[in-house]
Every structure is written in C-alpha cells, then in structure tokens.
Structure 1
Amino acid sequence: MTTTDDVRVIRLRAGRRNDGAPVADARPRLSWIVESDRTDWVQASAEIDGGGETANVGGESVAVEWPFAPLEPREQRTLRVRVTGADGSTSAWSEPVVVTAGHLGGAGWQAPFIGLAAPSDDARPALARREFVVDRPVRSAYLYSTAQGVHQVEINGTPVDDGEMKPGWTSYQHRLLFDVADVTSLIHTGANAIGIDYAGGWFTEIYGFREMARPFYGPQPSVSAQLVLTFDDGAEQVIATDDSWTASEGPRTASGIYAGEHYDARLEMAGWSQPGFDAEWPAATIVPVDVTPAPRAAEPVRRIETVPVAEVITTPSGATVLDFGQNLVGRLRITVHGPAGSTVTLRHAEVLEHGELGLRPLRAAAATDSYTLRGEGLEVWEPKFTFHGFRYAQVDGWPGDFAPHAVEAVVLHSDMRRTGWFETSHPLVNRLHENVVWGMRGNFLSLPTDCPQRDERLGWTGDIQVFTPTASYLFDCDAFLSSWLEDLALEQAANDGVVPFVVPDPLPGDAAPAAAWGDAATVVPTALYERFANRDVLETQYDSMRAWADALLRRAGERMLWEGEFQFGDWLDPDAPPEHPADAKTDPDIVASAYLYRSTRLVADTAALLGRADDAERYAGTADRIRDAFVREYVTPAGRMLSDAPTAYAVALRFGIVQDATRRQAMGDRLAELVRAAGFHMSTGFVGTPLIQDALVEAGHVEVARRLLLQRENPSWLYAVTMGATTIWERWDSMLEDGSINPGEMTSFNHYAFGAVADWLHRAVGGLAPAEPGYRAIDVRPLPLDGLDWARTAHETPYGLASVEWRRAGSTLEVDVVVPAGVRARVQLPGAEQTEVGSGHHRFTAELEAAAAERAPITLDTPLDRVVADESAYEAVIDALTQQSPEAAREFRRRTKWIPQRTLRNSFVMAPQEHLAAVEVALVATQHPPVE
C-alpha cells in the first residue's frame, strides 16, 4: 500500500482522558485526529493495529467502538492507526500508543480501609506504612489506592504519581474512585516500603450554612490500597492494606478544605516511607466501608503552574500582604529560613477592602495555613491536602526580612487539556474572556463548584447547567463532567428522581427539585454529546434524564405547568435585594415551566437518537402539551409575557416554546425595548444571562446585544473588568463602585455562571459553532460588532483544530476559516449567500453595510430611548451630571427608564435646575464639538 506524507494521524487515544493514564473501561472507545494538507479530505476507512491483530472501521474517527477482545486487568495493548481518504490517499501508521487496562477483574478490590487505632476527636491527618520483601524479578507493579478523604502514596520514599487531592470528591456514600499508578520502576528486589500520607479532605468537612453546618460523611479519614506485583514467571502477589499495617499521626497537625492546613516540621520522621524505618507505630485499625471503589475515568487534580508575587503591600494596619495579580485557586509554596519553633501563618482572600484583606465573604472558612520551622537551613513547604481561592495572602510571623521571591502561588485544578481560545481588538472584552477561563480553572477542581474560597465550594447544579457549553469549548472536560454526572444520577436515584441542589449532596434536609438547577440532568449530557460526539454519555445518563422529567411531570399534573414550589428562579437578578437573591423580576413559575418544557423535549430528542421510539413519541407529545399550556398561561396573543422582564422573553424564545413567527418577533422586539429601557445594563440573573444575547440577535437586534456586551457601567459584564476583576464575580456588583464589598452575605469573586456569555462570544462574535455533534459539521457565521476591528477564535474539536478570524478592511469584511480534515463548514457572511466548504484553509470577503451618515440632534426634548441609543449623547448626559454630583449621576443611571414616552426634560422635573442646564450645555457640545 502506497502512503502519503500529506495525511497524518495524530492524538490517538483510548477513553476520554488526555493524560495516557490506565483506562477505566475494558472496551475503551478510540479517537484520533487526522491532519491533511489536502483540501476537502474525508476519511473513508481506518485500519487499527492492536499489536498482532488488526481491525477495519469506516469513516468515523471519534469515539470509535473498541474493535478487539475486552482488555484484561493490567493488560497492555499497543495501538496504531492509519487512515484512507475518499480520494484514495493513505496515511502512514500513527505513532504507537500503549493502552493499559486500569480496571480490576476477578477478585476485584481486596484491600480493607484502615485508619488510626486511636484517633483524636478531630479529623486528624495521619501516615500509614508497611514494609515488604520482593524475592524475585518483577515484570510489572501497579498500585491501586483510594481514601475516604485525600491521600498520596509513596513507595521507597518516592510519590507514585503527581495527582493532588486524590481521589477527589464523589458521593462517598454511593461511589468511591481509585487511582492506578504504574510503579514498576519504584520496586526493587529486597526490602521495600509503602507509605500513605492522608487527611480528611472533603470526607470529614463540615457542610451547611450557619448553625445548620455539620459533618456529613464521617468523623475520620481512612485509606485503602493494593499493590499488585506480577513476576517474570507470571505469578502475582497482592500487598493490600490490612491490620498488619501501622499508622501514626505525623507533622501535619490539622487539615481541612475550609480551615486550611497546619504543619509542624519539628514532627517530621525522616524515612517513614522507606525500608528500615525503625519508629514504633501502633497497628492500624480496619474501618468498615460498604462501597466498592471503581476506577477513575477523569483526569486528577494536578499542580498546573506557579505564579510569582506581583506586589508586596503594607496595609494600613501594618500587615504584609502579597498580591499575585490574579485571583486563582491553589496554595502557597514558601522557602523560609529561621529558628526552630518559628511559625509562619498564611491567610488568603480574594480582594482587599479598605486596604486590608477582605475576609467577610469567606464566612466560616478560615482559609489559613501555618508552618512551624524545624530550624535547619532553608525549608521549603506548601500545604498538601487543602486549597484556597485567593489573589491576596497575608503573611504573619515571617522570620527575618521578607523577600517576594520566597513565596509563589501554586495553581491547582483538574488537569483538563485547553481546547478553546478567543480574542478581539477590544482589550476589555479580552479580559472578560480571560476572566471566564480563570473562573473555570478555579472551579473545576475535582468537581464543578460554585466558588473556591468560602465555606461552600459545592457542586451547584444550576451553575454548571448554564456553563457547560462554555466549559466544553475552553477545555476538554468530557471525562470530568461525565464522571460528575454519575454522581448526579446516584444522588437522584436516592431521591425518587429529584436532582439535589448540589452534587455531591452533603446538605441537610431532603432534596427538593429546582428549575434550572436539577435540569443539569438533561442539559449537561446533551451539551456534552453536542460538543464531544460520544453517545455513551447519553446511554449512561438516559435513565437519569428520564427520571428527572418524570419527577417534574408528576408535579405539573394536568395543567402541564410547574407552579407554586420553591424555586431559585432567575437567581441574582441585579434588581433583587442583596439579602434576597431569588427575588427576581421574572415569576419563578415561568422559569420552572420553561425548564419543564426544555427537559421534557431533551428527553424526547435523546430517546429518538438512542432508538427508543416509544419514549420519543410519548415525551415529544408531552412536551407539546407543556408548550401549549405555557403559551396559553404566560404569553398574550400580542407577544407580551405575564412577567414583562428580559429573562421571561429569553427563555420563551431560546427554548423554542413560542413558535409563531409573528409573535416571536414581537417578543424579540419587546426584549430589546426592555434592555434599552434599562440603559443597556444587565437585568438578568443566572437563568436569563446565558440566553439574552442569542435571543436579541435572532430577533434582529444586534446593536442592542452589542451595547449590552460593551456596557461598562454597573451592572454589566465589563463593569467587573473595569474594577480590576480577574475572574467572574458571583454578583454583578460583588464589589461596589466605592470599592466596598457587596453587603449581601453571599458574595464571591470567583463564580463562573455569568461567564456563560463566552459561549456566545465563541459561536456568534467569533463565528464558530457546532452544526453536528462533535463539530463534524460547523457553522461559520461571524458577527462583526461595531466597536470591534477584528476577532478570532479557535477550538480543537474532536476532529482537529478549527478556527475563524475576521477583520474589517474599510467597508470589507475579510474572514479566514480553517476547517479540520473530515469536517464540512457552512459559511454565512453578512449580506452574502451561504456557501459550504470542506477541510482546509479558506478566505472569504463580504461588503458591510455603511453606517448611517447623519445623526439626529439630541436635545432636552428628545425621547429617552433615542438618548440612550446615542452613545455620545448618553455619555455627555452622565458626564455632565457627574461633574455636578456623582451621587446624582449614579442615581440617574440606576433609576431612569429609557423609554419613548419620556424626555430628558421630564426626567429632571425634581432635579436642581443647574443639573438640567449642565446637561443642556453638554448636549449642545455633542452636536457641535469644539474645533481643535
């Protein structure tokens, strides 16, 4: 067979993980990417070499079914792939990839959990160890380990891998994960030792709010491990945790997720994980655990990068505070020299308030680490079993003079591969997007959390429900979220189909359904299939999806509406009082019934895709009834909604509930009116914010969407950026204009939910959207917003790198598109016919409509909707007022409804006349700018 070098196979992998670790499945799906210098190249077939046997498959290269016999435990297969195109071209073989089976067979998990023989009342970190002798050559050695808590294993003094916070947080009462490490190189003939360093982590944490907080899982951590040695003669030996192991408290004197970690280096025991250690430790105690650990299918948490100190600040109180220039998640690594017994204390916070650490948002979380020196030269330390969300850290007790290079921040998160990028000519929009990326990084640590800093850090389902499309573009989070969905299904099964507010669910009380939160059961798997094209997530989660819909339908009854129950609603609507974030403008029943429709429709669509015809017909018919009931109850014939608020219109439009074209246009027009009346400030919460830009653009109101995106005043996406934010805030005004923290008790500076707008930036502004699952076909439809000279976005799809870049050249729009091999793109530019192209690099141009040449004069008698639509006039009004009275300007911005029925003159009836005069002068200047 003749091969060509202009077709290449790269990134061959088995399973969902990207790090080459042992696979959790005996029949892992295979994926690869084809690079081709040929235009319109399409794979016709592929040959998979499994190390002695081959299999032929067709044109698919994503999530291809395992073509060989199931892998036995610890079996290794060396795989290669070569592909043949529809044009007859054939690639060379790919680089070989070794696939190792990480699951357990036969005897399964043999290792009891062990803990301290006499633990103290608190959840004390500990060490466990055992020595063993190897009397013959070892062919392979694999370590399987887990914990009710967090742990790391050392063999002969060397950590077995680079995972952190293992095995991560799952619904411990239902599901425990184990990690697998190839430790062959660490084992030698003769005496060996295995040691486990462990702490309580999430298992022993106290969960809940205020006086309701309490432990949930257990009072003490425990660990379990089994080392499987395979000798050259084929025999196996299993060394498992049991009561022959010993355990002791160590130098880590306290450790908690919320509280932080305390370490006394004077208590270190050199060589504790090496053979020959001679300290007398008590025997470990067997801890009963009735959950059988399962193999991890997602990447672990790892140390990703380090960040140096950007500035050393001396606060008004005289404290030393380090600014790292970026709100991040991780911990500090210190290099210190001083006398034995000296203690360095590190306190973390996201912001400063009045020049000091802003600690109130942490609530009960101490977020404090401390290190007591042993007094022997330079000492290097960082916590092991905790993490913090912070930009600033206060350092107390530093011995001698402090040097900034002695401290660095270590960034932690689940080790997902970056796959998406976006950039424009607008620096504030770029910072907004970067804030989204950092927010995701900080909150994707073992599970998708709501925040990484306070006494919460829970897997709130509503946040990830709205954010999954954004997340799946920025990082390959397929394995991460598919694993989390397994916990969701287990928690749900224990609650009669109801998805709890958080997953895992350690909160007190019975789980109750909440719209947009529990709908993660249907929305997240749908989004993962759309972006990654692995239908296993739908097969695995289908029963969960259906159970959620059924739980809601039981509540809907014959009216086919979800009414009258507790709801979060359009959570954190900016008009809600700080202390009552659920008091949104949109009736919560509208949100609930809209999601009732959406989830039922998604179940119907998934059933059809999976070939479950009866379910598809039944749920589709039910969804139609819900849609009719919603429209009858909440939408007038003229297109007004019972809740005349942006989120109400956005959900009805974007979920496809209202289908009549005339009524949809009226609703889109009304949505634009409401946004304009609010001065192009945000007026939506968690539910409406991810939907509003698409709803506006689809209704033809691109200019309104542009003004909403580029608004800098509070509340807006860019307000936080102008206030120095480096992550997405929980509230639109987590920090007020005067630099004080929002008075609401619930305030975080690292929440990704409002960052869901990045999905719109990628798909609409950048112009790169999936048209078929996994981007097998893509839609290229860039939106060249005024105020942006160019934009570019790129995404490594399952088929390869796709990108779109557009720029203005006078009245011409120039667009460059890169389409991966095997993919087709539908390209739609402004004012041009749609065209379809295959793989390769393509360039297109289109003529843009000329902007209106004349600008109508703005006076005191101009209707307010026209005033706010004219950016220079609006800015002149606000600037003139600010010069008169900053507080009056802020109130005018907040309170004015920019509607056609009122004029500027009407709006100043009760204001001092000098304010009106100043505004009039400013408006005249905008019509006749001064000559330079």
Structure 2
Amino acid sequence: MLKIVGLRCEYKENPIGIDAKNPRISWRLESDKRSVNQSAYQVVVAEDREFGKLLWDSGKVDSDQCVHVELAGLEAVSRKRYHYRVQCWDRDGESSGWSHDAYWETGVLDRGEWKAEWIGPSIGEGANEEQSPFLRKSFSVKEGIRHASIYATALGLYELELNGSRVGDHYFTPGWTSYEHRLQVQAYDVTDRLAGGENVIGAMLGNGWYKGFLTWGENKRAIYGDRLALFLELHIEYEDGTEETVSTDSSWRTAGSPILMSEIYHGETYDARLERNGWSSAGYDDSEWLPVERISQSNDILIAQENDPVRKIEEIKPIGLLTTPAGDTVIDLGQNMVGWLKFTVQGEAGSEVQIHHAEVLDGEGNFYTDNMRSAKQIIRYVLKGGEPETYEPRFTFQGFRYVRLIGFGENVRLDDFAGVVLHTDMATTGFFECSDPLVNQLQHNIEWGLKGNFLDVPTDCPQRDERLGWTGDAQMFIRTAAYLKNVAPFFTKWSRDLKADQTNNGGVPFVIPHVLDANSHSSAAWGDAAVICPWTIYLCYGDKRILEEQYDSMQAWISYIRDQGENELLWNTGFHFGDWLGLDSKPDSYIGATDRDYIATAFYAYSVSLVQKTATIIGKPEDAAKYGELYGRIVEAFTKEFVTPSGRLSVPTQTAQVLGLMFGLLEGTAKDRAVAKLMELLDESKFHLTTGFVGTPYLNHVLSDNGKLDAAYQLLFQKDYPSWLYQITKGATTIWEHWDGIKEDGSFWSKDMNSFNHYAYGAIGDWLYRVVAGIDTDESQELVGYKRILIRPQPGGSLNWAEGRLDTMYGEIRSYWKKSDDGKTVLEVTVPANTSAEVHLPGAWLDSATESGSVLSEAAGIASATQLEGAVAVAVGSGEYEFSW
C-alpha cells in the first residue's frame, strides 16, 4: 500500500502569512513493501478544499522528487489561501491516490499594499518610559464573517489580545532580526475570534532587543531605536464578498500597563494593583486613555515570518526546596533551563515578592550569580491582594536552574512553582541512546544546550549580559543541531540576517544580528559561518535555494579574505579569535596556542572548497572552475608555509593536526605524520584534549576517519578534567562554556566569562550520530538531504549497543546495533520510502552475514553486497532490515 503523508509548504504544515511567491512543497511516502521509490507525481492547487476550481496543475511529472518541489509558474497573490494535494506513482505503476488536502496562506507580498501606520505611546512630561504601554482599538464588524487575519509587528516586542484573550501562542514577537534591514511580520487567523457588533483589539509592548539593554558595558541600550511602536492590520472578509480593514492609526488609545520594567537581561517588574480588567474587551471605558502618537518608520524592511516562532514548550516541576548556608530559600528545578518561573502567591495588597535566578550553587552551597555579570535576572511582583495570584513574565527570559525566593514567607509549597521552558519551536528530529548512562546524559546536555540557546537566534549563552548570535559558535554546532531539530527555517532566517549585516567589503560581523562596534567583524572560523551554515542546511535538507540565496554572501566573504594582506593565498593579517578557550593557551589568555594565521588559512581553504561545490550545484561552472583553481593555489601555499619538506606540520598542537586532516589539506607523508603527531600529543596529555572552540568539533571525526577509533572512544569516555563527561560528574545538565567551569575543588574558572549553558562543545553530538550510531547522508549532488543514506556505525569502547533515529525530509532513519555475549552483532536499520542506503556491517564477512535469517544474496530489498576491508557494504532500498553476523 502506497500512501502520501507529511505534506509541507516551505518546511511548515499549513503555514499562514508566508511571502514566497513560488513556494515549495514536500511530502513523504509510506509503504509496507521494501525498495519503494516514486516514479512520478502530480500536484494540484485550488482555491477551495473541494478542488472544484483548479489554479495550477503540474500534470503527471516523471520524477522521484518529493522534497522542495517548486510550483513553477504559479504566481501567488497577497492574503490568499491556497489548497493543494498530491498523488504519486511507484516504479510498478501503483498509485497512492490523492493525499489529504493541505494549504498555505500568503501574507502581504507587496510592501506597497500596507495601509497601517506606526503608532506608539505618547511621551509626555512625567511619563514612565520604562513602563510597558497598552494600546487599544474598539471597532464594529458586520455579521457573516468568512475569514479574518491579523498581520502585526513592532519596534520592540508585542503581545496581542482580541476580545479579552491572547492572540496566538508566539512569544518574543516579532523576533530578533537585523532590524535596520529586516523586520518580521506575524500572521494570525482570528476568524473564530470575531463576532458581529463591537470588538476590541489590544496590544502590549516591551523593550526587547530593539530598545532594551543589549551587549555588555554601561548603558548599552536602545541600539536600534528609543521609541516602541506597533504596526497592525486586521483584514476581514465577509460572506457577501465585501472586505474591511482595521489598522493602527491615530484613533487608537494608549495607557500604562502593570509592567513597570521589562528587560531581556534584567527581568521584569509587575505591579498587579495597576491591572486594567477588561481592557481588551468590549464595553471598557478608555476615555481617560491618551491618544497614540504616529511614529516615523519605513515599511521597506517588512518581511513575513521566516523562522519557527518561540513558544512555551514544556513545564518543569521543582525537585527540591533548600535553605543555603547563607540562609536563602532556594528552589532547585533539577535542570539548567531557559524561560521563566511561573508562580502562585497570596498576600496583602502592596507587598512585594522577588524571584532571583542562578545556574549553579557555589562550593559551599550558596546561591551564585557572579557569572551573570551585569544581568540582574530578577522578577519583582507587587501583589494586588486577596485571592491567590498566579504570574509569569512576558518580555524577558532567564537562564537558570536555581531560584532564590524573597518575600514568600516560610510556608513555601513547591506545587506553586513551575519552570516554563521557551525556545524556538523546531520539530524534534533526532534521538540517540546507548548502553552508557553518562554518554546518554551527555546527549541530554547537548539537547538542552540547544533548547536554551536557540531562542530566535543561536545565542552563546542565555543568562549573562550577552546572549548574542556569535557566528563561530553557530557554525561549529550547526551539524549537531541539524540532527537534534529541524533547524532549516531557523538558520535560513539567521543566514539572511548575516547577509544583511555583512560589511560592504564582504566582512562578517562577530555576532548576527550585528550589535557590536563597527570593527567587530571578520575573524576566521567565525566569519566562515557565511559559507558553512548555508552549506550544512543544503547538505542536511537538500535545500538548494539557500545556496542560491546566500551565494553572493558566500562569494563576498571569500573576496574579503583575498583582499587581506599582501598574499591572497594566505590569511595572516587581522584579528582572529583563534582556537578560542583552547587549553594550551598562555596564562591569562583566552586564545589557544595554535597559530592564528594557520587556523585562518585552513578555514579559508575550506570555505573556498565549499563555494566551489556551491557554484557547481547552482549551475555556475565558470565560477566553480575559478574557485577550484583558487583552492588548489591556497593548498599549495598552505603546504609551503606550514608543512616542512619532510612532511611535518610546523604548528605542533592538537588543533593544528585536526584542522589539516579534517579539511583535507594534507596528503601522503604529511597526512601520516599529522595522524602520528596527534596521537603523540594525546599520549602526552594522557589522552585528554587540549582543543578549544575551533579544534574540538572535529577531533573525534579526525581520529575515527584515520584509523584511530579506539582513541576517539577513549576521549569520549574520559571522566576527569578536561573531558565531556567531567562536566557530568560535576552535575551538569547542559554543556559548559569552559571545560573547567567548575574546577575539581569546587571553585569556579572565572566570573567574567563562565556560562553553564553554552552549546559549542556540544558539537560532539555530530560524532555520536554520524559515527557511533552511523547515520549520515551521501554528499553527492541530488543525493544530499538523506536521499541516499549512509549507515556506517563504528562500535567501540565499552559500548555494547547504541541507537540513533533521525526524522529526515523523507521520513525516519533508524540505526540500532547490539553486541551479544556470544560475539554476534545485530544491526537493525530503517530506510524511508523513496530513498536508498549503503549499510556497512563492521567486522562482518560476506559468506556469514544474514538479513532476517537469509543470506544477503537472497534477502529482499538488497541490491548488492560487497566485501570491504573490515566490513561488508550492503546496498538496500527502503524498508526495515535486521542484519546479523
């Protein structure tokens, strides 16, 4: 039985408000047979879900493509819902029949169509500019509403209410983008929220990233602007064919809200006595409210929402209540998390309670906040009195595990508190588990590092006065992230911001969005995010469009490097972070011992190689030839500069050997000597890493790719400092910024830069999925995105089983291997329909390996089986398999 499931438009299920004029759709096939492939498809698009009036029909197309199928020739128009469905045929001619119907809805496609005005609170004498404002509009509608949508954005953050209740489940809207160039507009279907007669729409605004404190240092705030503003249009379509629009304009009214202060870093102050009950409902008297002011702001920066929204994802109940040696009352949530604390309190009107947040306790068990630097992370709540009051913030988020309570009295009940986890709502795609509980905890910590730092942008830490989109951290972790979650929309949006913030000469800022000074740009390995991130999204999701969109940016980055210094083939000028936080750094230095010009030139070569591949993929053969020639010259110059005539690298560090090997810059004797030198350096450190941000993501890959699998596993299983598992022995529930954030004696590495939720070193997750579980994609053009799957597990160490699952654009891949006491190995594999796989059976022999009890040559779904050195390679079609040897 052939079935189509999982219809998506631009990665999303039934999206509304998108601005793609030629959207792409994707689907999956399901079948109970093996080796099922699509041979043809047909897509139809209609105005109605009955498909009575077709707008577009692909006809029967002979193709196995089911991912990112562009509806070429369909020119979408603004604010219209399009219904679509798909049928396909397999190679035997069997039809799936029509799929269920799905839809997408466009937003405003032409910026000239906007009619709304930008409005904000009036700023008068005595006004509290830090108080979040309410904005309100009462309006009447007729009976017979067919469809109604709100399109909204803000300078600052906004939250909408309609007829007394919250609109949507998105938080921190409109998100953080390069505000000078790009500002997202969110769309909400409110058809069922309107009724004939009086209706009221209201909004509350907060400072957010736009106006609030941002970056470190004194009074670094209002980087983008100092006036909050709302921009909104409500479009109503009636059954009689007429339309009506309610927009932000001078008729709106404004007043202060109970939020007296809201800051991303510092928290929120809320006075419940100032609540205005019914303020967003019909019948409310707003005669004492003030008129709004028009704000000058161009509409040219408006774009539709690109990223998945931030949502409340889950709630965590506290695991303990303790009194510290200093006498503080502290709640332990058991997990370092990002979001906020929801709490219930009862008391007299005017009394105040405070919530303070921290990631860790110090060596004596006291509440520790020094690593927050200037970020206060404090919630203040003033009670209105009477019945129990429940509160949670709106325009701030905290990074914390521990919460200090002030003003709650002695009878604290844990049931009155819950940690609300918020992050970008990316679909979970990865699962990894193995026989070692500490490695499983490491995988847990990696995932929670992503949860805590993927809040609209890929931040470096979610607790201190930073929380910025560091480019180096993002490119180091993106491949791991693509296993854990569907990060394609997330990084597409962020890559577009990178392109928007790129300097005129192609330089890439250290952080995206760019909020540091004008000279803070273009470090090697950081700026290379301009190339590595789009390439990785293409590789993992088969998304060719992101390469087409970002190609100019990728080229500009290469041009920037070529223009540096006197030799366009070596990058030996400018500032570089180097092997950041490498353990072989000099005292009082954050930069590892590996020469920075070596790192810069290695990444230069790597990025050029990726741009060459990109040019080929997007149909630019002349560019591909040009970059291929440049790459060859860079490698030649690299060899002359850093490799001695006898084949020894002149930079004797772990990271130097790793980069040269990982990026394919060494051949022959030089490659052999680099492998030997890396092993020598590991032996000298008693098999502990000394790598920093640059070398660590690649270290285990280099070892396992060069015949040193045992060494890679030995590094993975180390429990003393420095190692991944050391953090776990110290109680970590997320990845740390420093290998010794908490030292062996319980003291701290530093108070200046010591985040306990920092995902960079979590890049080991890529190795767990790709090597331990063995799930990878073929990188050949047309086979990326797991169209052709490589399942090549490499068991090792003390593990006796491991399982990895990955939900791809085609469906779920599964690889589960297990070693039994009698010396046999079992490998269970799932390959989605419309894909194929090359499966390696490590240590197997062709004449004795079986699949579901049959010899390989007789098993259904197996196209071929070949004996390799140390393994059997089996080519299979879709289906579930159980190999044994």
Shorter-chain TM-score: which interval? over 0.9
Equivalent position to 1:17, from 5, 12, 15: 12
Contact 1:730 1:749 in 2 (8 A): yes
For 2:538 and 2:270, how far apart are their aligned partners in 1?
45
Specify the SS of the correspondent of 1:202.
Answer: helix
Q: 1:62 to 1:311 in 2, by over 3 A?
A: same
In structure 2, the partner of 1:35 is 30
For residue 602 of structure 1, the aligned residue among 600, 610, 613 is 610
Distance 1:638-1:703 versus aligned 2 partners, 3 A rule: farther
Contact kept? 1:14, 1:23, Cα under 8 Å: no
Distance 2:588 2:102 in 1: 55
2:796 equivalent in structure 1? 785
Instruction: Tell whether 2:40 aligns with 1:8.
Output: no
Instruction: Report the CA distance between 1:833 and its aligned residue.
Output: 2.8
1:617 Cα deviation after fit:
1.1
| Structure 2 letter corresponding to 1:260 | G
Deviating more after overlay: 341-350 vs 404-413: 341-350
- Residue 98 of structure 2 is aligned to residue 93 of structure 1: yes
Structure 1 position 411 matched with structure 2 position 416:
no
Specify the alignment match of 2:293 in structure 1.
285
Q: Does the residue aligned with 1:402 lie in a helix, a strand or coil?
A: coil
The residue type equivalent to 1:304 in the other structure is I
Contact 2:119/2:229, CA 8 A, preserved across alignment:
yes
Contact in 1 for aligned 2:17/2:186 (Cα 8 Å): no
Deviations 1:711-752 (CA, angstroms, capped at 9, x unpaired): 111010110011110000001111111222212511100011
- What is residue 349 of structure 2 aligned with on the other side? 340
Query: 2:444 is matched with which residue: 422, 431, 434?
Result: 434
Q: Which residue of 2 aligns with 1:60?
A: 65
* Conserved 8 A contact 2:87-2:96: yes
Query: What residue in structure 1 maps to residue 878 of structure 2?
Result: 839
- Return structure 1 stretches of 4+ with deviation > 6 angstroms: none
SS at match of 1:210: coil
* Residue 81 to residue 206, structure 1, CA distance change in 2 (3 Å): same
Which secondary structure state, in structure 1, belongs to the residue aligned with residue 26 of structure 2? Answer: strand
Distance 1:29 1:559, change over 3 A: closer
1:126 is aligned to 2:139: no
Which secondary structure does the structure 1 equivalent of 2:69 belong to? coil
Counterpart of 1:8, as a letter, is K
Contact persistence 1:792–1:805 (CA under 8 A): yes
Q: Quick one: which amino acid aligns to residue 429 of structure 2?
A: T
Q: Confirm whether residue 191 of structure 1 aligns to residue 198 of structure 2.
A: yes
Q: Distance in 2 between matches of 1:634 and 1:212?
A: 45
- Provide the residue aligned with 2:805 in structure 1: 794
Q: 1:207 to 1:94 in 2, by over 3 A?
A: same
Question: Out of 348, 370, 373, which is 2:380 matched to?
Answer: 370
How far apart are 1:108 and its partner, in Å? 2.4
Q: 1:319-398, aligned counterparts within 5 Å?
A: 319-353=328-362, 354-398=364-408
| Secondary structure of 2:563's aligned partner | helix
Letter in 1 for 2:12: R
Which range moves more in the overlay, 431-440 or 104-113?
A: 104-113
Displacement, 1:233? 2.5
Which residue is 2:320 aligned to? 311
Flag the structure with higher helix content.
Answer: 1
**SS, match of residue 113 in structure 2:** coil
Aligned equivalent of 2:840? 828
Aligned twin of 2:621: 613
Classify the secondary structure of the residue corresponding to 1:774: coil
Q: Secondary structure at the match of 2:327?
A: coil
Compared CA separation, residues 197 and 559, structure 1 to 2 (3 A): closer
Distance in 2 between residues matched to 1:180 and 1:90, nearest whole Å: 36
- Distance in 1 between residues matched to 2:743 and 2:128, nearest whole Å: 43
Displacement after TM superposition at 1:213 (Å): 3.5
Distance 1:36 1:423 in 2: 27
Asked if 1:805 is matched to 2:816, the reply is yes
Aligned partners of 2:520 and 2:30: how far apart in 1?
48
Structure 1 residues 611 and 811: CA distance shift in structure 2, 3 A = same
* Alpha-carbon contact 2:131-2:257 (below 8 Å) kept: no
Structure 1 match to 2:235:
228
Report the CA distance shift for 1:376/1:501 in structure 2 as closer, same or farther (over 3 A).
Answer: same
Q: Following the alignment from structure 1 to structure 2, what is the Cα–Cα distance between the partners of residues 377 and 732?
A: 48
1:647 to 648, 652, 655: 655
Instruction: State the one-letter code of the partner of 1:840.
Output: G
RMSD: 1.6
Deviation for aligned residue 1:107: 4.1
CA deviation vs aligned residue, 1:413-451 (integer Å, no higher than 9, x gap): 000000011110000000001100000011110111001
Q: Aligned partners of 1:431, 1:557: CA distance in 2, in Å?
A: 49
- 1:514 equivalent among 523, 537, 542: 523
Cα shift at 1:331: 0.1
The answer to whether 1:237 aligns with 2:237 is no
Structure 1 residue 495: deviation in Å? 3.9
How far apart are residue 14 of structure 1 and its match?
0.8
Measure, in 1, the Cα distance between the counterparts of 2:12 and 2:676: 45
One-letter amino acid matched to 1:839: S
Using the size of structure 1 for normalisation, the TM-score is 0.88
Are 1:631 and 2:670 an aligned pair? no
Tell me the residue number matched to 1:203: 210
Alpha carbons 1:579, 1:745 under 8 Å: kept: no
Partner residue, 2:571:
562
CA contact (8 A) 2:180 2:301 kept: no
**CA separation in 1, counterparts of 2:789 and 2:465?**
42
Contact 2:561 2:568 (8 Å CA) reproduced? no
Conserved 8 A contact 1:578-1:742: no
Deviations 1:192-223 (A, max 9, x none): 11100111111112233334834311123211
SS at match of 2:564: helix
Q: Given that residues 829 and 882 in structure 2 are in contact (C-alpha distance below 8 angstroms), is that contact kept between their aligned partners in structure 1?
A: yes
Q: Which moved more, 1:39-48 or 1:208-217?
A: 208-217
In structure 1, the partner of 2:829 is: 817
Partner of 1:153: 160
Residues 111 and 224 of structure 1 are in contact (CA less than 8 Å); yes or no, is this contact kept in structure 2? Answer: yes
CA distance in 2, matches of 1:337, 1:673: 64
* Distance across 2 between alignment mates of 1:135 and 1:755: 56
Residues 669-724 of structure 1, C-alpha deviations (whole Å, 9 max, x = no match): 21122112111112101110011111111221111111111111101011001111
Match status 1:765 vs 2:777: no
Corresponding letter in the other structure for 2:621: A
Code of the aligned partner of 1:80: R
Is the 8 Å Cα contact of residues 342 and 399 (structure 1) preserved in structure 2?
no
- Higher mean displacement: 178-187 or 508-517: 508-517
Match of 1:76 among 62, 74, 81: 81
Q: Is the CA contact (8 Å cut-off) linking 1:769 and 1:778 kept in structure 2?
A: yes
Q: For 2:385 and 2:409, locate their aligned partners in 1 and report how far apart those are by CA, in whole Å.
A: 11
How many positions carry a matched residue from both structures? 838
Per the TM alignment, residue 18 of structure 1 is displaced from its structure 2 partner at its CA by 4.6
- Separation in 2, partners of 1:264, 1:282: 21
Alpha-carbon spacing, 1:214–1:180, altered in 2? closer, same or farther (3 Å): closer
SS in 2 for 1:206: coil
Say yes or no: does 1:657 pair with 2:669: no
Native 8 Å contact 2:8 2:14 kept in 1: no
Change (3 A) 1:143 1:191: same
Aligned AA (1:835)? V
Contact 2:134 2:205 in 1 (8 A): yes
State whether residues 17 and 297 of structure 1, in contact with CA within 8 Å, keep that contact through their aligned partners in structure 2.
Answer: no
Percent of aligned pairs with the same amino acid: 40
Distance 1:451 1:841 in 2: 41
- Indicate the structure (1 or 2) with the bigger Cα radius of gyration: 1
Distance 1:622 1:356, change over 3 A: same
CA distance in 1, matches of 2:777, 2:72: 28
Q: Which amino acid aligns with 1:192?
A: N
Structure 2: distance between partners of 1:556 and 1:601? 21
Distance 1:754 1:252 in 2: 38
1: distance between equivalents of 2:586 and 2:16? 48
Q: Secondary structure at the residue paired with 1:633?
A: helix
Match of 1:775 in 2: 786
CA distance in 1, matches of 2:388, 2:482: 43
